[in-house]
Amino acid sequence: MKPTQFRPITSDDHQGLVALWRDTWTATYGPSLGLAALDSSLKDLAQNGTASMLPGFGELGYCMADGQDIRASAIVVERGTVAYLWGMYVHPSCQRQGLGSLLLKGVASEIATSSDIEIRALPTSSSAISFYQKHGFVETGTEDTELTGGVSAKTLIMSVSVERLKAMSLMSSL
């Protein structure tokens, strides 16, 4: 087996991303948002594949992968001073092994012009909130966010400066 590596998402990653998102959404959205929301999101994934999540113009997608076996994903777009990060998922069997931290570190290294990174997290996702707090993110507000399949949910807005995230990543690698 190849070691897990940070790399850009390619068009060849469709099946691996669908499998990752199906498993992570089931683990996250089922308990948090209920079976109806999960079913709607999974139906959208089955019908549209990666089209509703993959990066569009000006957006970049990254993953942690063993060849075509996608273990984690993230999508980012820079808009002025803010880089918006979404689709950050780590397969449940790979969580708490450092892949999310490596993915976040890799994404931060790709930020070219923005000074801050902003994410949205479900208030019920205590492990996600804890992960982002560990990496210096602080809560800056709340909003209703549209997820896949027409599902909307109240989310926490969290942000960190790119400089701080890069410095934390550098310190953790020493």
- Residue, of 157 and 67, whose pLDDT is higher: 157
Q: Copy the structure tokens of residue 90.
A: 């780590």
Measured between alpha carbons, how far is residue 9 from residues 27, 48, 129, 149 in Å? 22, 17, 25, 22
- Residue, of 38 and 17, whose pLDDT is higher: 17
Average pLDDT estimate for 57-84: 89
Lowest-pLDDT range of 45-54, 57-66, 151-160: 45-54
Q: Copy the structure tokens of residue 140.
A: 């800056």
Q: What pLDDT, on a 0 to 100 scale, did the predictor assign at position 174?
A: 40
Name the phi and psi angles at 141, rounded to 5.
165, -170
pLDDT digits (tens, 9 = 90+) for 71-112: 999 999 999 999 999 889 899 998 898 899 999 999 999 998
CATH domain 5-172 topology: Aminopeptidase (3.40.630)
Q: What pLDDT, on a 0 to 100 scale, did the predictor assign at position 167?
A: 83
Residue 1 binned pLDDT confidence (cut-offs 50, 70, 90): very low
- Residue, of 94 and 44, whose pLDDT is higher: 94
- SS3 per-residue string spanning 51-62: HHCCCCCCEEEE
- Looking at the predicted structure, is the pLDDT value of residue 34 above 90? no
